[in-house]
A and B are shown apart, each in its own frame.
Chain A
Amino acid sequence: MTGHPMVKAERVHKSFGLIPVLRGIDLEVRAGEVFCVVGPSGSGKSTFLRCINHLEKINGGRLYVDGQLVGYRQKGDKLYEMREREVAAQRRDIGMVFQRFNLFPHMTAAQNVMEAPMQVKGLRRAEARERAEQLLARVGLADRMDTYPSQLSGGQQQRVAIARALAMDPKLMLFDEPTSALDPELVGEVLDVMRGLAEEGMTMIVVTHEMGFAREVGDSLVFMDEGVVVESGRPRDVLGSPRHERTRAFLSKVL
């Protein structure tokens, strides 16, 4: 991987009240890379992902996306919290896919995809509709444009959610356990879409329990536990021959 750093974390700390969740995360994700994050539940991997688009505020350290500090402006040694509008502007370039899809249930698949381009970017309806058509075709749902989420299967909903995130032309995609809420036979169709995205060179950070996907598609992988990065490297190496006892214990349970 030779791309410039897309995400850079330096000693990132985060706690909910008195409970520390992230205890000094250092890592770097390069442009065009598929970066997988694995670890037991409660290890802070989802929280870290949510910090990247400022859904959670970090309490310490520095977090950069594409060279820009996330959620703060730095002048001299002083940090200033960003205004709501600036945070929203930062988020526009970062797509996020949630474990529970979080599609807007009162809108059809097409309307879900059109909403942000129309409301945030000011695209006209016809343009947005055309774009939605392309995106839904890309995730294999061209014939489901006018279907409401409740009428779609979990796998189809998640693919609409991916199309919705792509509609903002993000430079970075965050996947928060995108297949964990799916029936086993539906996992494949979502992973296929993600694999296609990776092949097109999208920068992706994927929190996942799908070790097969991580090994096959991932360029880098970190294993997190108790709020720290325990081990990182190429997926094949970390998953194939883990160096740390904790990684080995975890992998023996999930593989």
Chain B
Amino acid sequence: MSDLTKTPGNEGGGAGAAEVPPELIKAVPVRHYGRWLGAVVVLALLAMLVVAFAGADIDWSVVGSYLDDDTIVAGARRTLWITLLSMLIGVGLGVTLAVMRLSKNPVLSGVAWGYIWFFRGTPVLVQLVLWFNLSYVFDTLNLGFYKDEMNDVMTPFLAALLGLGLNEAAYMAEIARAGILSVDQGQTEAAHALGMSRARTTRRIVLPQAMRVIIPPTGNEFINMLKTSSLAYVIYYEELFRAADTISSRNLAVMELLFVATVWYLILTTVFSIGQFYLERYYAKGSSRQLPPTPWQRIRAQLTSFRPKNTVGGVTV
């Protein structure tokens, strides 16, 4: 057994320390006039934008007062709710479809292919309206154990959920498939060689590694879904956009309420972006030598390292 605790070259360090350190370079840095010019132009344009909106015929106090309006908050809650549920359907069904597509059974992989082909190939707006109008072709829903008028069953909520969720599943299937395929074949072989079954190998070895590839685009899909859910407006689902529209059709403050909706969408997407960062960090375990620092860690590092740094040839001395 080789000795691992041995640290080679300790004697070399003493000799180096005795040497006179090289003289620090004090050079005049290059002036980047272009950068200054670019910054000035962009700031000027920004200022013009702010001035334009400040002078526009917008009643900002209306925007402020409607931000916590009950109808708006209820709408934001529904937007969040339909997004969560649709993504749940999307991820669950999507992973199932991905496994089906990778299956050796030609019927399973064929059906999965057909599903993805159909739902990815048609606009989600059309799908929403299709579900909503299902009662034109099936006037009753009969599941054997459950029977009802289709009109009563297919509420705006259910139509939105099916339209958004089933469409999302098609996209999630492709994302999950890419993730599963990204895991090295050697991982499966190593697990099999240890006597692990196929199902256990998928669950314990392949999927956790696939997650690293699956999470970032899924976070993207989540944020997309928060916004796409506004399409449910057309089938009278009372989400954020329709809530804003309902109010503005009463008080005619159209732009003001659009701003209110915009602010709420930004709040929701920002919160999800932060959640995504931590989720990605969790699944990066072991894949990179050092996890990226959280914003807090970064701030703390900044605060504790405010001593001036002197560098010679890129090495801090």
**Do A and B come together as binding partners?**
yes
Enumerate chain A interface residues (CB-CB to B < 8 A): 53, 55, 84-85, 88-89, 91-92, 94-96, 98, 100, 102-108, 115-116, 119-120, 140-141, 143, 148-151, 156, 161, 164-165, 168, 188-189, 192-193, 196
In this complex, the interface size class of chain B, counting residues with CB under 8 Å from chain A, is 20 to 34
Complex CA gap A63/B16 in Å reads: 62
Given contacts A140-B2, A192-B2, A193-B1, A107 and B195 within 8 Å (CB-CB): no
Determine whether the beta carbon of A115 is less than 8 Å from that of B187. Answer: no
Please list 20 pairs of residues, one from A and one from B, whose beta carbons are closer than 8 Å in the complex, sorted by A's number: A55-B192, A88-B197, A91-B192, A91-B194, A96-B190, A102-B189, A102-B190, A104-B205, A106-B209, A107-B286, A108-B286, A115-B194, A116-B196, A149-B286, A150-B288, A164-B194, A165-B194, A189-B1, A189-B2, A192-B1
Instruction: Fill in one digit per residue for B236-265: 1 if any A CB lies within 8 Å of its CB, else 0.
Output: 000000000000000000000000000000
Determine whether the beta carbon of A85 is less than 8 Å from that of B197. Answer: yes
A196 contact set on B, CB distance < 8 A: 1
Number of A-B contacts (CB under 8 A): 90
Distance in Å: Cβ of B179 to nearest Cβ of chain A:
13
Q: Which residue of B lies closest to A111 (CB)?
A: B286
Determine whether the beta carbon of A115 is less than 8 Å from that of B209. Answer: no
Complex CA gap A102/B188 in Å reads: 9
B283 contact set on A, CB distance < 8 A: 106
**A106: contacting residue among B189, B192, B286, CB under 8 A:** B286
Determine whether the beta carbon of B189 is less than 8 Å from that of A55. Answer: yes
**B186: contacting residue among A84, A88, A98, A115, CB under 8 A:** A98
Complex CA gap A92/B186 in Å reads: 17
B186 contact set on A, CB distance < 8 A: 98, 100, 102
Complex CA gap A85/B2 in Å reads: 40
Q: Which residue of A lies closest to B5 (CB)?
A: A143
B204 contact set on A, CB distance < 8 A: 115, 119
Enumerate chain B interface residues (CB-CB to A < 8 A): 1-2, 4-5, 184, 186-187, 189-198, 200, 204-205, 208-209, 212, 283, 285-289
B184 contact set on A, CB distance < 8 A: 102
Q: When A and B form their complex, which 10 residue pairs have the shortest distance between CB atoms, in order from nearest? A: A92-B195, A102-B190, A116-B194, A148-B286, A102-B186, A96-B193, A189-B2, A91-B195, A140-B1, A106-B286
Complex CA gap A82/B114 in Å reads: 33
Q: Which residue of A lies closest to B209 (CB)?
A: A106
A189 contact set on B, CB distance < 8 A: 1-2
B189 contact set on A, CB distance < 8 A: 55, 98, 102
Determine whether the beta carbon of A88 is less than 8 Å from that of B190. Answer: no
Q: Which residue of B lies closest to A156 (CB)?
A: B4
Given contacts A98-B189, A150-B288, A196-B1, A84 and B198 within 8 Å (CB-CB): yes
B1 contact set on A, CB distance < 8 A: 140, 189, 192-193, 196
Determine whether the beta carbon of B2 is less than 8 Å from that of A55. Answer: no
**A148: contacting residue among B5, B190, B285, CB under 8 A:** B285
Given contacts A89-B195, A106-B209, A151 and B4 within 8 Å (CB-CB): no
Determine whether the beta carbon of A106 is less than 8 Å from that of B287. Answer: yes
B289 contact set on A, CB distance < 8 A: 150-151
A193 contact set on B, CB distance < 8 A: 1
B287 contact set on A, CB distance < 8 A: 105-106, 150
**B196: contacting residue among A102, A106, A119, CB under 8 A:** A119
Complex CA gap A144/B159 in Å reads: 54
Determine whether the beta carbon of A88 is less than 8 Å from that of B196. Answer: yes
Determine whether the beta carbon of A140 is less than 8 Å from that of B4. Answer: yes
Complex CA gap A209/B205 in Å reads: 31
Determine whether the beta carbon of B190 is less than 8 Å from that of A98. Answer: yes
Distance in Å: Cβ of B214 to nearest Cβ of chain A:
13
Q: Which residue of A lies closest to B198 (CB)?
A: A84
Complex CA gap A95/B195 in Å reads: 9
Complex CA gap A192/B195 in Å reads: 26
Determine whether the beta carbon of A150 is less than 8 Å from that of B2. Answer: no
Distance in Å: Cβ of B3 to nearest Cβ of chain A:
8
Determine whether the beta carbon of A94 is less than 8 Å from that of B193. Answer: yes
Distance in Å: Cβ of A98 to nearest Cβ of chain B:
6
Complex CA gap A93/B131 in Å reads: 55
A53 contact set on B, CB distance < 8 A: 193
